[in-house]
Copies of this chain bind each other. A is one copy, B any other.
Amino acid sequence: MREVEDLNASLGLLAWDEQTFCSPRGREARSQHTATLSSLVHERVTDEPFGDAVETLAADGAGLTDAQRAMVRVVKHDRDRSVLLDGALVRALAEQASRANRAWEAARAARDYRVFEPEFARLLALKVQQADCLAQGGDRYDALLDGYEPGMTVAKLGPILAGLRGELVPFVGELLDQPEPDRSFLDGPYDQARQRELVVRILTDVGFDFTAGRLDVSTHPFCGGPGPSDVRLTTRYYRSLDPGALLSSLHECGHGLYEQGMPAQYARTAIAHTPSLGLHESQSRFWENVVGRSAAFWARYLPVAQALFPDQLAAVTVDRMVRALNRVRRTPVRVDADEVTYNLHILVRYELERALLDGSVSTRDLADAWNQRYRAYLGYTPVDDLEGVLQDIHWSWGELGYFPTYTIGNLYAAAIDEAIRRDLDLDAAIRDGAYGVVLDWLRSRVHQHGRIVESAPLIQSVTGQTVSHEPFMRYLHTKYRALYCL
């Protein structure tokens, strides 16, 4: 287990470096290194004596602590998936993902999906093979989804998403009928060094430990790196404040705070991780949206931002700032979307990746299918592939079944928001900068449990509710009816 943990931590550093500092010519070799280390992980996890030990302990956990039983459960879950895949396929997937990712970058530079398509088609064929191995006659999509959100299935997710769409679509329509709030002052230009100063100040305030992490620049912001004692956040700077580095950094910081809060006593074990990407995403969404887009937050930080950017912000009030940061509108790009329309972006991807896997949409038709759905769900036609199907990195890495975890994260975050407000005055804490109180709550309820409990029962015990669209829709209604004076 420790060897696997160390290999995965090393892979975390290799991946971080590839997206931040790796020289262009170094990336080809990097894909080989990554493939080799991934193969070694696979070899270790599927090792027979190791498997025998796991099965023995899974069958009889007498004498184990709760944490040790959780380790056995987690290792068995991951191992049961791994033994279904042979080493050659694992290596081929890692290598092809790296190639497809580079083709995706070239396609973005050319703004042309066709540059990406051949490599993506080869990657998809491998993903279908992988899904079939894992599904063992069951549903392909479920098999991949389980890798990101253990225990989640299309059968459970479908009704939740249907319920969400049923309430969301009319609400979006209602908001889009309203006059747009002014956001011109967000365009800047905002000096990059001062943006960084503001970001580092806020990340430090909310509790990110810079002695156990960093903030660098990459094309696509992420939270990665070797692990809890060394969390690598990245952001990207624009001329504008939003979309910009600030809220995206707070988002990644939410992931980072979760990572830094993993139970230190179980470092280098299988339970010092999140039980699911949805739960991880709930933490980033909480800090980005519930905190970072709130009036209480800007009551605190608008004066700080004004001191850094007097020309751009002197005349701006907290009310104007919050309305600007929460403007609802039709946008082509997921990562720039507001909280309300965001989940429609996810719906497009969820439907398309299911269709790619069941063969009802081919990679050749993907760009058209994408644009068609954007017209239908968001009333927007992307001007080109860069604004359309090439916008996200995930598929280029072979991450199919990943996107729903973003929506699950939103739903979890809303349920957590309701729960934390039962225990403390969240707005006052945010306004007063009492982030330690908020973080302690999250640490004790969520972070410190690592992967000891799965995410569904954890959320159930923390929030008193099973996952549904309802807390999230309550959150949206309350917030946006106030902002839009409905």
Chain A: residues with Cβ within 8 Å of the partner, total of 38
- Over the window 4-30 of chain A, the binary record of Cβ atoms lying under 8 Å from chain B Cβ atoms (1 yes, 0 no) is 001101100110010001111110111
Q: Which of B3, B33, B216, B267 contacts A226 (CB 8 A)?
A: B33
Given the known A-B contacts A14-B13, A23-B211, are A36 and B226 also in contact in the complex, defined by CB atoms under 8 Å? Answer: no
Docked CA distance A76–B213 (Å): 41
Docked CA distance A226–B209 (Å): 28
A37 at the interface (CB under 8 A from B): yes
The interface residues of chain B lying within 8 Å CB-to-CB of A263 are none
B268 touches A26 (CB 8 A): no
A29 touches B214 (CB 8 A): no
Docked CA distance A25–B232 (Å): 12
A192 at the interface (CB under 8 A from B): no
A40 at the interface (CB under 8 A from B): yes
Q: Which of B17, B35, B210, B226 contacts A29 (CB 8 A)?
A: B226
A interface: dominant SS = helix
- Over the window 33-51 of chain A, the binary record of Cβ atoms lying under 8 Å from chain B Cβ atoms (1 yes, 0 no) is 1011100100000000000
Given the known A-B contacts A226-B30, A229-B28, A230-B30, are A14 and B23 also in contact in the complex, defined by CB atoms under 8 Å? Answer: no
The interface residues of chain B lying within 8 Å CB-to-CB of A275 are none
Docked CA distance A162–B35 (Å): 50
The interface residues of chain B lying within 8 Å CB-to-CB of A25 are 209, 211-212, 229-230
Q: Which of A273-303 contact B (CB under 8 A)?
A: none
Docked CA distance A245–B218 (Å): 27
Docked CA distance A181–B230 (Å): 48
User: Quick one: copies of this chain in the complex?
Assistant: 2
The interface residues of chain B lying within 8 Å CB-to-CB of A268 are 29, 32
A2 touches B230 (CB 8 A): no
A388 at the interface (CB under 8 A from B): no
A254 at the interface (CB under 8 A from B): no
Docked CA distance A23–B16 (Å): 14
- Which residue of chain B has its CB nearest to the CB of A36? B6
Docked CA distance A219–B28 (Å): 29
The interface residues of chain B lying within 8 Å CB-to-CB of A40 are 3, 7, 40
Docked CA distance A29–B262 (Å): 14
For the complex formed, measure the closest distance between the CB of A224 and the CB atoms of chain B, giving whole angstroms: 13
A227 at the interface (CB under 8 A from B): yes
A214 touches B21 (CB 8 A): yes
Give me 24 A-to-B residue pairs in the complex whose CB atoms sit less than 8 angstroms apart, sorted by A's number: A2-B32, A6-B35, A6-B36, A9-B29, A9-B33, A10-B33, A13-B13, A13-B14, A13-B17, A21-B21, A23-B211, A23-B213, A23-B214, A23-B229, A24-B212, A25-B212, A26-B225, A29-B226, A29-B229, A29-B267, A29-B268, A30-B226, A30-B230, A40-B40
Known: A6-B36, A25-B229. 18 other contacts (CB 8 A): A2-B36, A7-B36, A7-B37, A9-B33, A10-B10, A10-B14, A13-B14, A13-B33, A21-B21, A23-B210, A23-B212, A25-B230, A26-B212, A29-B226, A29-B227, A29-B230, A32-B268, A40-B40
Pairs of residues from A and B, 6 with the lowest C-beta to C-beta distance, nearest first = A26-B230, A6-B36, A25-B212, A25-B229, A6-B33, A24-B211
